[in-house]
């Protein structure tokens, strides 16, 4: 006990990685232990060959769509963005509607077009209903068609009632097929993966690693050139990602080793995994490092407000942050003074790094949103100390802000290229509906799986407690209803994505979608960030274990 102050402890576990990425080089694995230079040259050759494949499939629309889908799911679509955008634009502009009768073709076309921001109508699936308005029973025999339709359903908005019906229909039949031992093993694995988590909600990088295995087994659909490219490209990018993790671990070491922050979660590798889930492509290297530093410092901020700080200390800290008053910061408790210094130093570093690119103006947006977040964090502290359990709507007005997701969305744009315009930063500063829905998904997913652990100490009421009180609900019923709100939020997120696609670059909008996707993996059953041993295997797959040949 410090000076008579009784401080809380959450009992967080130590880092499961320690200094692993500082001390260990990345593993290099290729067919014959070739050099990195050979791998790069081979990737360039394979990219040229795949561009020829894309040209050669122009006459066969389904073949062209399947190739595009495979390239994107294998994580190499970024090499062919111009070609893919051109092809999908042509398909969309062909009468502006989806034609054809083949279910797999129609559903795949629908999904890919919506993924790329084209608001194509879901009425195209009406042709698969019988006279009674139900989906035709013989569709159950079209396994790939069912799977394609199931995946398409997760691009739905609230205007797509037919996709709700399609989801129930396809899910029922796919669950039965997943138990069929006579089914092709690759197809069965795809079904199991889809039922566990559909493509639209998967972390792209993890999804690529999983899909590679299935694609390799799928003798009917596999293309050897595409497969070799996917494997080599994954391993080359893993070298870059490993080096970024090493650089960030070195930056973090001084902060993590400061005894003043022993109360906080030591999670720099998990923070990097979080941001790698948001963008993995090589052109975003600087952006990843900036955003990882932001989320790591936000993690400490979260633990300061959530666990360690006293009400008076936190009010003083909030006031200092709101004014960004470096002189007043000297009067703070030592741990808060150091944290303020670390925040200020990081922002100065970002400013210096971006000055040479003519983009240093972006940092002020981050600072202003951070002020909004700490004020919301302090409001939660007051609720906690008063034992106040607000109505759910009131809670979410504050607790969606304290997910830090709008702040992190802004941070993710800071290191990006010219697609991150001043208009983008003005937009994100308003806490728009788009980032609000991602924040809602984050808040509820987090609360549903972590409320039991958090409520063991003096903690602000979660959305679960708020729902239980407001509706006199049991714990299970509250969680069930809150998860329905997550599904609702995904539909609004999809709708906003389509609405915004004509205003902002897809490269901007996908950052926010990917933040939401992370929650479906990292908070599916438990809080895997706090209990980080649960996510270690995922991180190993992306940063430690190369793909074998």
Domain definitions of the chain by residue range: 49-222, 231-524
* pLDDT tens sequence across 510-522: 999 999 999 999 9
Task: Point out the least confidently predicted range of 27-31, 164-168, 335-339, 489-493.
Answer: 27-31
- Coil, helix or strand for 1? coil
245 pLDDT band (50/70/90 cuts)?
very high
Residue 80 per-residue DSSP state? G
Rounded to whole angstroms, the Cα distance separating 271 from 268 reads: 5
Q: Is the pLDDT of residue 264 over 70?
A: yes
CB 314 within 8 A of CB 381: yes
62 pLDDT band (50/70/90 cuts)?
confident
Tokens of 165: 């019906």
pLDDT of residue 1: 43
Domains 49-222 and 231-524 share a fold: no
* pLDDT tens sequence across 333-382: 999 999 999 999 999 999 999 998 899 999 999 999 999 999 999 999 99
Q: Is the pLDDT of residue 489 over 50?
A: yes
Q: Is the pLDDT of residue 244 over 80?
A: yes
Task: Point out the least confidently predicted range of 7-11, 138-142, 269-273, 374-378.
Answer: 7-11
Tokens of 73: 């799911």
Instruction: Please enumerate, as own/partner, the contacts of 362-369 that have beta carbons within 8 Å and a separation of 24 or more.
Output: 362/413, 362/414, 362/420, 362/425, 363/414, 365/410, 365/425, 365/428, 365/429, 366/294, 366/407, 366/410, 366/411, 366/414, 367/324, 368/429, 369/406, 369/407, 369/410, 369/428, 369/429
Q: Report in angstroms the alpha-carbon separations of 323 from 317, 425, 445.
A: 10, 21, 33
Helices 334-355/285-303 angle, 10° precision? 160
* pLDDT tens sequence across 312-324: 999 999 999 999 9
Mean residue pLDDT across the chain: 94
User: Higher confidence at residue 95 or residue 334?
Assistant: 334
pLDDT of residue 2: 57
pLDDT of residue 30: 47
Rounded to whole angstroms, the Cα distance separating 26 from 378 reads: 42
Helices 143-152/185-196 angle, 10° precision? 20
One DSSP character per residue, 342-392 reads: HHHHHHHHHHHHHHTTT-TTHHHHHHHHHHHHHHHHHHHHHHHHHT----H
| Fold (topology level) of 49-222 | Glycosyltransferase (1.50.10)
231-524: which CATH architecture? Orthogonal Bundle (1.10)
Helices (H), 220-333: 224-256, 268-276, 285-303, 311-323, 326-329
């Amino acid at each position: 006990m410090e000076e008579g102050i009784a401080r809380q402890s959450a009992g967080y576990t130590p880092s499961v990685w320690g200094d692993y990425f500082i001390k260990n080089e990345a593993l290099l694995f290729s067919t014959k232990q070739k050099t990195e230079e050979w791998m790069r040259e081979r990737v360039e050759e394979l990219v040229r060959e795949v561009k020829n494949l894309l040209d050669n499939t122009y006459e066969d629309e389904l073949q062209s769509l399947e190739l595009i889908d495979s390239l994107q799911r294998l994580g190499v679509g970024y090499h062919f963005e111009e070609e893919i955008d051109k092809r999908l634009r042509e398909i969309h502009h062909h009468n502006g509607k989806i034609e054809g009768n083949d279910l797999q073709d129609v559903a795949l076309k629908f999904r890919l077009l919506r993924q790329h921001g084209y608001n194509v109508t879901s009425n195209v699936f009406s042709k698969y209903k019988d006279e009674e308005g139900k989906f035709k029973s013989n569709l159950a025999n079209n396994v790939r068609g069912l799977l394609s339709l199931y995946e398409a359903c997760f691009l739905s908005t609230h205007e797509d009632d037919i996709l709700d019906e399609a989801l129930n229909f396809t899910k029922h039949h796919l669950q039965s097929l997943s138990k069929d031992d006579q089914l092709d093993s690759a197809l069965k694995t795809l079904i199991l993966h889809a039922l566990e988590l559909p493509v639209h909600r998967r972390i792209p990088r993890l999804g690529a690693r999983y899909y590679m295995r299935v694609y390799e087994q799928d003798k009917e659909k596999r293309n050897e050139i595409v497969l070799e490219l996917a494997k080599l490209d994954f391993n080359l990018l893993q070298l870059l990602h490993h080096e970024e993790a090493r650089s960030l671990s070195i930056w973090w070491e001084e902060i993590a080793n400061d005894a003043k922050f022993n109360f906080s979660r030591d999670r720099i590798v998990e923070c990097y995994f979080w941001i790698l889930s948001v963008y993995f492509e090589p052109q975003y290297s600087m952006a990843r490092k900036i955003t990882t530093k932001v989320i790591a410092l936000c993690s400490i901020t979260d633990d300061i407000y959530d666990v360690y700080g006293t009400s008076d200390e936190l009010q003083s800290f909030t006031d200092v942050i709101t004014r960004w008053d470096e002189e007043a910061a000297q009067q703070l408790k030592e741990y808060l003074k150091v944290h303020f210094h670390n925040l200020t130093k990081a922002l100065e570093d970002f400013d210096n790094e971006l000055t040479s690119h003519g983009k240093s103006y972006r940092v002020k947006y981050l600072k202003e949103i951070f002020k909004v977040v700490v004020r919301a964090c302090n409001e939660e502290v007051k609720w906690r100390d008063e034992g106040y359990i607000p109505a759910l709507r009131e809670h979410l007005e504050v607790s969606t802000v304290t997910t830090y997701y709008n702040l992190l969305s802004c941070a993710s744009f800071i290191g990006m290229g010219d697609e991150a315009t001043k208009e983008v930063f003005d937009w994100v500063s308003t806490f728009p509906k788009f980032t609000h829905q991602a924040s809602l998904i984050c808040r509820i997913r987090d609360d549903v799986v972590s409320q039991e652990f958090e409520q063991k100490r003096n903690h602000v009421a979660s959305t679960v407690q708020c729902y239980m009180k407001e509706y006199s609900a049991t714990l299970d019923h509250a969680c069930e209803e809150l998860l329905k709100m997550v599904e609702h939020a995904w539909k609004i997120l999809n709708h906003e994505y389509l609405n915004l696609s004509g205003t902002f670059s897809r490269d901007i909008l996908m950052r926010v979608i990917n933040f939401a996707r992370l929650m479906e993996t990292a908070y599916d059953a438990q809080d895997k960030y706090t209990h980080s041993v649960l996510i270690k295997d995922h991180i190993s797959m992306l940063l430690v274990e190369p793909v074998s040949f």
